Chain A
Amino acid sequence: MDEIIPSIGQPVFPDKILNRDQKLLQWISSVDHKQIGIMYLLLALLFLVTGGGEAILMRTQLAVPNNHFLSPETYNQIFTMHGTTMVFLVAMPAIFGFGNYMIPLMIGANDMAFPRLNAFSFWMTFFGGGLLYFSFLAGGGPDAGWFNYAPLNEYNYSSRPGVDYFAIGLLVAGIGSVGGSINFIVTILNYRAKGMKLNQVPLFVWMVFVDSFLILAAFPCLNAALAMIEMDRQFHAHFFNSASGGSALLWQHLFWLFGHPEVYVAILPSFGIFSEVFQTFSRKPIFSYAILAASTVAIAMLSFGVWVHHMFAVGFGNTVNGFFGVASMLIAIPTGIKVFSWMATLYGGSIRFSVPMLFGIAFLIQFTFGGLTGVLFAIVPIDWQLTDTYFVVAHFHYMFVGGAVFGLFAGLFYWFPKITGKMLDEKLGKWFFWLFTIGFNTTFLIQHVLGLIGMPRRVWTYPDLPGFGTMNFIATIGAFLMGIAALVLVVAIVKSLRKGVVAGRDPWDAVTLEWYCDPASGRKNFDKIPLVKSRRPLWDMKHPENPDWKNSRS
């Protein structure tokens, strides 16, 4: 018989004391992990719409050759902000949003370890994003690309204040990310339910746990680089100015030592979300949990030894390039293992094609494809041919959108009933899925070809060479399809919030603890929870005849 014990970590809830609703003030002053999680998610949604709008502007400019819809200055600011927004203000807040809301629930805790640090982290991210966008009112946005290469980011070449706002804005938002990841680590280490070992937490928790270490190790490199470029720009230091003894490549080293781990920061939580989705919607335990967790740790370690594959064309010798080529290829091993694990999870299951699962299937194929084109960039000579072309643009959108963002959408549909108590409209959801998936592949599949035939990335326009116009036009059509899909999603969310089907406690017949907590329980998550004895505590409760802790093959 299951043992029911009081849950741990019981903070004092302001609203419980005040016992009245303070409306907006309650949100602004909140230290509750669920409210902060929702605020993070709303922030991500706001910037997703902004960054998506920027993408639509770019694709409109590129629809036909020699177009003058946008000026080069405007285009350069928009593509810089598109990348910066999507990485720092969409992917990161969305991850922190789901992490904040779900992790305490999944490990049976009542809140994050440091509720005030949690609120502080959110507001730093919020104001960092605000600073970044304030640049448009202060004389022009940053215009040197999201990787902001030296010496183009120096005052001589970018005299508008955009790059200053970029540096300060990201420093501020970065403090939020570091604070948030410390909070995740401490929470996961100390606030797990009684009996839940570290190798029994749901894989989403594992992924965010590893993610947090990645953030802690990677952000200092970025922060150092940002501080140095500000010194160069404002106090005439010479870190990156080769004319006065600095090194342009130093910036690239520092940036990519942060930048490559950052792409794993963006995608690991989606691996976690899909692991939850696959096991729930195939009604089977995840296949080889231990390997999925260990391969994530391997990816995290390797990610700090591969940054030079972004720099194969800067003119290093064959030894350096060869070393980093090998290191980069090694990443394919733990990543390939993951894809096989997920497929093995589905194999022999009883698969329900709800919207999160649809995103999961599309993810598996797109991620395999993006992974294979990724290996191309580890093969140094092929990288020399393909780097800095539209092939790269296509490749990393397959990873960022086809991988990470598909995961976040799956998470949205999977956890929407948990967060709001209503189901996210299934019919509109399927419309959204198909429109978005078709639009996404229309846009980016063809860009591989554009890169192969010679279109460099980050060009505000291009000459009318054979094939260029047609292929770019197709890509633009795809972008508009994704735009329409986004509108369908917004309609689906609004409609479901207003008159969606009431979800109940466990709408997906899931196996993890977040679905054990009663949605009507208010700010406090758990009064009592069962003693955790396996990786699927909720399964054990629902199937006392065949619990995991008695099944040696699960």
Chain B
Amino acid sequence: MRMLVILLQSVLHSASVQSKEINRLFGQFTIAAVLLLLFVSVLIIYICIRFRERPGNPFPEQIGKNNRLEWLMFLFPVVTIAILLTATIRTINIVMKPAQGKPDVIITGHQWWWEVYYPATGVTAANEFHMPVNKNLLIEFHSADVVHDWWVPEFGNKMDVVPGRNNYIWLNITNAGNYIGACSEFCGAEHAWMRIKVFAEDERAYNAWQDANKKTANMPSDELAMRGMLIFQSRSCGSCHRISGTPSAASVGPDLSHLFSRTTMLSGMMPMNEDNLQAWITDPQMVKPDSKMPDFIFAKDSVDAIVHYLTQLK
């Protein structure tokens, strides 16, 4: 019963203009399909009971042809297909309109995390996406390596993130809230932990988030954090990561400028907190095997300093 509720909530829950269209079509098809399946199943069960071999049954007539029935068998699927066809074409054209203008959001898939860039404000973030509701968003997808796939079930259509191809979707989110999605094209060892979290917010909350993330990263506020920053800068962390306002400016790994303002870490793998950061920096390959983060074999006090520094990057 509980499962049925979960099912209904998630399947029928559309949070975007696009998914409303898709789910309506899905609902109509499902009703037709269930009726058809019932018809076939009931007929088969009837045949099995009515025509089972019993002593005293007459030997069946040897009939293998019936023109009228054969025509019916042919026409029935033809008509069904014709109806489906028109519905399909109509919905495609509503959901996937041609791209116009500059993208509002550029999302880049990496093994195994998401980079998100807002061209209008210049804000870069990772794995957690803040998006405004009731706005037509043109989202463009880039891949840094292999094929990934963007999918948030409540938003409807997914889109592959293909290297060498800039795909796009239109998205108009209708309901504010938090949504969970995942990379849906197999992209290597940690495909399972390339999850998506979207915060769909009204304009005020969204703009506040943008403003907070436009600021350069906090400078260390105490001695331990200072030490953490020095280790970060001197021990090649900056070859892959970016922290705004510091010399670290690479984009191989996620942008850390406002790391501790996120709710989860490692692409939705675990909640963002000091303990998890500690475990991660101590032995990355233990926490997320095969991730691109190398094992630096830091001493414990160095890890403490780095974690302390990172927790100040809000």
Contact = CB atoms under 8 A, between A and B. Distances in A.
Interface in A8-62: none
Contacts, number: 289
A313 B160 contact: yes
A380 interface: yes
Contacts of A340: 73, 76
Interface in A416-450: 449
A382 to B, nearest CB: 5
B275 interface: no
B121 to A, nearest CB: 26
Nearest to A152: B146
A173 to B, nearest CB: 23
Contacts of B277: none
B62 A71 contact: no
Given A318-B96, A467-B3, A452 B11 contact: yes
B65 A288 contact: yes
Q: Which of A318, A326, A454 has the most C-beta atoms of chain B within 10 angstroms of its own C-beta?
A: A454
Contacts of A136: none
A352 B65 contact: no
B7 A242 contact: no
Given A76-B189, A284-B63, A453-B6, A365 B149 contact: no
Contacts of B145: 151, 157
Given A157-B188, A283-B60, A463-B195, A248 B289 contact: no
Interface stretch (A192-200, A371-379, A487-495): A371-379
A149 B147 contact: yes
Interface stretch (B47-55, B201-209, B294-302): B47-55
B192 A454 contact: no
* Interface bin, chain B: 35 or more
Contacts of B162: 242, 248-249, 314-315
Contacts of A449: 3, 7
Interface in B139-153: 145-147, 149, 151, 153
Contacts of B293: none
B173 to A, nearest CB: 16
A452 B188 CA distance: 23
Interface string A130-161: 00000000000001110001111000011000
Contacts of A379: 25, 29, 84, 87-88, 91
A325 B93 CA distance: 13
Interface string A362-394: 001100110011011011111011011100000
Nearest to A367: B40
A537 to B, nearest CB: 14
A554 B62 contact: yes
A109 interface: no
14 contacts: A73-B290, A76-B189, A243-B163, A283-B53, A287-B63, A343-B47, A348-B51, A379-B87, A388-B149, A388-B185, A449-B7, A454-B153, A456-B184, A554-B62
